[in-house]
Amino acid sequence: MMTSKLKKSLRQIPRADLIRINQVLKKMQSRSLELKKIKKLEGYEDIYRTRVGRYRIIYFDDGDRIIIKAIRKRDESTYGNI
């Protein structure tokens, strides 16, 4: 599940990166993403991130559903304001 704000931000990601991100999102949806690619964010309950090149997919997982919180290019502010 993605918010409209998140969908709008996806338009600014280069096509080649977006293709790779979409592949990872499909794996997340089917729960077939390798566990070694998933990291729990410290200080947050049930919020995780996975890396896709220079981008980070930050999401909430309650076991039944995955809610994408943000897809951001990795920099100093990547994990701020989640």
Domains (range + CATH), the chain: 4-73 (3.30.2310.20)
CA distance 25 to 33: 9
How does pLDDT run along the chain (82 residues), one tens digit per residue?
667 878 888 888 999 999 999 999 999 888 888 888 899 999 888 899 999 999 999 999 888 888 898 898 887 767 666 6
Structure confidence at residue 76 (pLDDT):
73
- The token pair at 22 is 């979409």
Phi, psi of 62 (to 5 degrees): -100, 10
Q: Give pLDDT, residue 82.
A: 67
